[in-house]
Amino acid sequence: MWPKLVAEAKDGGADCIETYVFWNGHEIAPGQYYFEDRFDLVRFVKVVRDAGLLLILRIGPFVAAEWNFGGVPVWLHYVPGTVFRTNNEPFKSHMQSFTTYIVNMMKKEQLFASQGGNIILAQIENEYGGYLEQYYGTAGKAYAMWAASMALAQNTGVPWIMCQQPDAPDPVINTCNSFYCDNFQPNSPTKPKFWTENWPGCRFQTFGESNPHRPPEDVAFAVARFFEKGGSVQNYYVYHGGTNFGRTTGGPFITTSYDYDAPIDEYGLRRFPKWAHLKELHKSIKLCEHTLLCGNTSFVSLGPKQEADIYTDQSGGCVAFLANIDSDKDKVVTFRNRQYDLPAWSVSILPDCKNVVFNTAKVQSQTSMVVMVPESLQAAKPDRWSIFRETTGIWGKNNFIRNGFVDHINTTKDTTDYLWYTTSFSVDGSYSSKGTQAVLNIDSKGHGVHAFLNNELIGSAYGNGSQSSFTVGLPINLRTGKNDLALLSMTVGLQNAGPSYEWIGAGFTNVSISGLKNGVVDLSSNNWTYKIGLEGEYYSLFKPDQRSNKRWVPQSEPPKNQPLTWYKVNVDVPQGDDPVGIDMLSMGKGLAWLNGNAIGRYWPRTSSTDNRCTPSCNYRGTFDPNKCRTGCGQPTQRWYHVPRSWFHPSGNTLVVFEEKGGDPTKITFSRRVVSSVCSFVSEHYPSIDAESWDKSTTNDATTAAKVQLSCPNGKNISSVKFASLGNPSGTCRSYQKGSCHHPNSLSVVEKACLNTNSCAVSLSDGGFGKDLCPGVTKTLAVEADCS
C-alpha cells in the first residue's frame, strides 16, 4: 500500500514524508533485528524517494505514538537495573546501540541528504522536555543532554530535532507539538521555527471514550497562523482512505507523516469531511514560498482583533496574511485601500498582497459522504464453519502455583494478552444469609477480566482510557462443597507514555466473596494456579498451515453467544476495489485473522452516553480535547480494515477468537464506498485557482466562485438530490432552502453535472437568471449521488 499512499500525499501537496522508527518492531530480542514485510524501513524510505519526496526520520527510539510500550521493546524492561528514559546506563546503552544501527543502515544505502539521499532531518527522543524532564530531576536533564550529544555523534550530515525539548542544546533544533504553535519560539535565533505535530484532537477509542474531531477549518487556521508568524514546517493529521494515514503537514515545504508499519484499524475506513480543504491550503502556501523564506516582515493592525502580517522580498514579491482572531464576530477589514471579508477565527492568504487565494474558514472543497456497504461473508458451502472451544482455566500443564497474585505483565512479558488465575474454595449448605446474594468482588490494576465460576461465565469488567484499574462486584450462585473460580486477566496493549510508564502493571490485587453468613471470604492469599496464554494460541490455530488441524470441529451452524470459542470459516473476496472492513458489531471482544494475517483486537464497546457529545461543532475559537465530541452511545469500534492484498483469489480463511460470546453468522465484510458528494460555496469565497494562478500577471479576482464536485474514479454523478442558489443552510445530507432560492438551481446543476465524473458550476452561471434577492450574499449548495 505504501506507493499509493505516498502518491496521494504528494498529490495533496506534500514535499516530504516523516515517520517514526519502531524499536520494538525491529529489535525483537537484544541484538536480534527484523526488517521484513511492513517493517522494511529501507524499502519505505526508497518508496518515498522514488516518488520524488524528502523524508524526516524520527528515530526516537522512544516514540509514544499510541504504540505499544511507546515503541520500546518489552524485553528491555527486564534487563537488570534498567529504568526507561532517564540517566540510566543500561537504557542508554541499548538506546545508543539501536540508534547507531538505524543510522548505519541508512548510511549504507546512501539515504541521508548529505550522501545525496532524501533524508533531510532526524529526530532523537520524543516529547521529553518540560514535565517529564522535571519528573526525573537532574537525571532527566542529564539524559536529555546525553541523547542530543549521542545523536550528533552519529555524523549523519543532516540536522537533528527534539520535539517539545525547550533546552535542546545547539545545534539540535527544538520543535513544537501542540494544537497551535504560532506563538512558539525556538530557543536560539539560529534555529528555525518548527512545528512537528499539529494535533488533530482525534483520540483512539479503545476504552469507550467519545471521539473529539478537530474541525479542518481550525486546523487550517492554526497552520496559516503559524506561517503568518514566521514558521517553517508544520504537521497535522489527515486520515486518508486505506489505512491510518496519520499526520500531514504544510510549510514552505509541506510534509506528511506516515508510519511505515502503522497499525491498521478502522480509522483508515473513515473519510472525515472536508479534509481536502487542507490540500487547498498547501497550494496557497506554495505560492508564497519564496517570499516567506527570503522576505522581511512587517505588522499592521486592522482592528481590535484583526491584523495583517506582510512579507516583502527584494524581487518585489509581497505576501500578506489577514487574520481575524475574534472567535465570534465576522469582520470586513480594509487593507491597502481594498476591503476584505474575514469570517471569525480565520486567516486569508494573499500571495500578491492583493488577491485572496485561500481563507481558512471558507471551505471550497467538497464533502465526500461514505457508506459501509455490507457483503456476505461467504457463499453457501456445506460444513463451512469449524470451531474450537478453549478450556476454562488451566489447559495442559500449569505454569506455576503461588500463594497470592502475580503481576500480569511481568508474567506474560506481553507475549500474549491473556493470563489465567485459578483457585478453588469450599462452602457449606448454610453459606448464605436469608435474603442476601453472594457477590464476587475483584480489584484489578487492569485491563480487563472475564470471571468464570464452575465453568460458567458470570461477568466481565474493564478499566477505561484514563484509568486502567477497576473494581467490580459480580452476583454469584455458589454450590455446596467445592467451587472452582477461574479469572481470565486481559491486557489491551501496554502503556505508551508518561512518567515511569514501564512500571505500570496489570492483574488482580484483591479477590473476595461477600454476602456470606460468616462474613467476607478473602481469596487473595489462596493458592492460585497460573497459565499463560490460550490453548488456541499455543497451537497457532490462526495460521494457514493449521486449517486442517484435527482440533477444529466442523459445524454446519456455529454456536452463538458462546465464550472462549474459536471460529474458522472460508470467506469470499469482496467485489470491486474499494477499501474493505470487517464488521464485528455482532461480536463481543477478541482477536481476528485473515489467511494468517492479524487483523488485530476487536472490541465494539459502546461509549458513554454522557461524555459531553455535541450535536454540531463550531470550528470558531480555541480547540481543546473536550470540544466537538461525537459518537456518544455508539460502538467505539465497529469496522476493522482488512487490506485487499491479504485476500487470495479463492480459499480465504477467517479465524476469530471470541472471549465473551457473540453471533459469528452476522459478521460481514463491508466496502467503504463514496455514495454522495456535497459542496457549499458563497460568492465571497476565493475564486482563484492556486494551482494554476500566475501571480506575475494582473488578476483582480473578478471571476466568480464556483462549486466543484468529483466522484471517485469509475463513478459518475447519477442524480442531484439538492441544489439551491440563494441563502440555503444546513450541512451535507441536510441542506435546506432559505428565504432566497433561484428556481433554476436544480436544472443548472443537472445540466453541468449529470452523468459526468466531475463538474464545476459558477455562481455567476447565466442559467440561474436574474438576481431575485438583491443585497443577499449568494451561496450555492449542492448534494449529488455517485454511482
Question: Among all residues, which ones are annotated catalytic?
Answer: 127, 197
Q: By the 8 A CB rule, do 638 and 584 touch?
A: yes
How many CA atoms, within 13 angstroms, populate the side-chain half-sphere of residue 691?
6
Structure-block grid coordinates of residue 753: 453535472
3-state secondary structure of 773: coil
744: left (phi over 0), alpha (psi -120 to 50) or beta: alpha
CA distance linking residue 300 with residue 307, whole number of Å: 6
Q: DSSP readout, 170-207?
A: TTSEEEEEES--TT---SSTTS--BEEEE-------TT
CA distance linking residue 239 with residue 276, whole number of Å: 11
Q: What is the dihedral of CA 27, 28, 33, 34, to 10 degrees?
A: -110
Report which of 6, 32, 713, 676 is spatially closest to residue 367, judged by C-alpha positions: 676
CA distance linking residue 743 with residue 748, whole number of Å: 10
Q: Is residue 310 within a helix (H) or strand (E), and if so which, with residue range? A: strand 306-312
Report which of 150, 138, 131, 25 is spatially closest to residue 92, judged by C-alpha positions: 150
Pairing of strands 173-178, 160-163: parallel
733: left (phi over 0), alpha (psi -120 to 50) or beta: left
Order of strands across the sheet that contains 470-475: 470-475, 439-444, 508-514, 521-522
Q: Is the dihedral of CA 275, 280, 283, 285 positive or negative?
A: negative
Sorted by sequence, the CB contacts under 8 Å of residue 786 that are 6+ apart come out as 674, 675, 676, 677, 711, 712, 715, 716, 717, 718
Sorted by sequence, the CB contacts under 8 Å of residue 159 that are 6+ apart come out as 121, 122, 171, 172, 173
Structure-block grid coordinates of residue 326: 475574534
CA distance linking residue 673 with residue 145, whole number of Å: 50
CA distance linking residue 88 with residue 144, whole number of Å: 11
CA distance linking residue 201 with residue 344, whole number of Å: 21
263-266 long-range contacts (CB < 8 A, ≥24 apart) are: 263/66, 263/67, 263/600, 264/599, 264/600, 264/640, 264/641, 264/643, 265/600, 265/637, 265/640, 265/641, 266/581, 266/637, 266/638, 266/639, 266/640, 266/641
Strand ranges (E), 548-625: 553-555, 565-571, 580-583, 590-594, 597-602
How long, in residues, is the chain?
A: 787
3-state secondary structure of 568: strand
Q: Is residue 680 within a helix (H) or strand (E), and if so which, with residue range? A: strand 668-682
Radius of gyration of the chain (CA): 29
CA distance linking residue 371 with residue 349, whole number of Å: 35
| Cross-strand bridge partners of residue 322 | 308, 348
Q: Is residue 119 within a helix (H) or strand (E), and if so which, with residue range? A: strand 119-124
CA distance linking residue 785 with residue 730, whole number of Å: 18
φ, ψ dihedrals at 650, nearest 5°: -155, 170
